[in-house]
Amino acid sequence: MTQTADQSAQAQLPERLVALLTGLLDVKVEPGELSPDTTFESLGMDSLSLMELVVAAEEEFGIVLPEDTLDLSPSSTLADAARTFEHAA
């Protein structure tokens, strides 16, 4: 992947989602190391951590995610989460 492609991939992740992960949920990774293909599992997040992320995202974005649209699992990617939150906003 080229430098431009790296920057483009990172730009696809909403800054507020990255901020939730690195700040509020205290995921130990530099924001520049996150990409749309990063899985929650690779960040050490489990099902409980994902529920914390959903609650934090609902509060941060002022949304309520319908139960039937919430299919995040530890193997889900950050791009999956971004799409889920984007469609609910």
3-state helix/strand/coil string of the chain: CCHHHHHHHHHCCCHHHHHHHHHHCCCCCCHHHCCCCCECHHHCCCHHHHHHHHHHHHHHHCCCCCHHHCCCCCCCEHHHHHHHHHHHC
The CATH number covering residue 7 comes to 1.10.1200.10
pLDDT digits (tens, 9 = 90+) for 14-58: 888 888 888 878 888 887 889 999 999 999 999 899 888 888 888
Which residues touch 59 (CB under 8 Å, ≥6 apart)? none
Domain count within the chain:
1
Partners of residue 77 on adjacent β-strands: 39
Q: What is the pLDDT of residue 12?
A: 59
Per-residue pLDDT band at 67 (split at 50, 70, 90): confident
Per-residue pLDDT band at 2 (split at 50, 70, 90): very low
Instruction: Residue 64: give the domain boundaries.
Output: 3-88
